[in-house]
Amino acid sequence: MGLSDGEWQLVLNVWGKVEADIPGHGQEVLIRLFKGHPETL
């Protein structure tokens, strides 16, 4: 499954915010994963 041009543009528009704090966002993703799906621990 690929992204449409519009979806890809949305990714590019937000990427600067993500890139500014990659470790912080990565930590947030993992915390949410483990809280939402504790069986993944």
Cα distance between residue 13 and residue 15, in whole Å: 6
What residues in the chain have per-residue pLDDT under 50?
none
Q: How many domains does the chain have?
A: 1
pTM of this structure: 0.59
Q: What does the pLDDT read at residue 23?
A: 97
Instruction: Supply 38's token pair.
Output: 């504790």
Domain extent, residue 24, equals: 5-40
Among 30, 34, 10, which residue's Cα sits nearest to residue 22?
30
CB crowding 25-40: b at 16 or more within 10 Å, else e: eeeeeeeeeeeeeeee
Please report, for the chain, how many H helices and E strands are present, in that order: 2, 0
What is the pLDDT of the chain when averaged over all its residues?
95
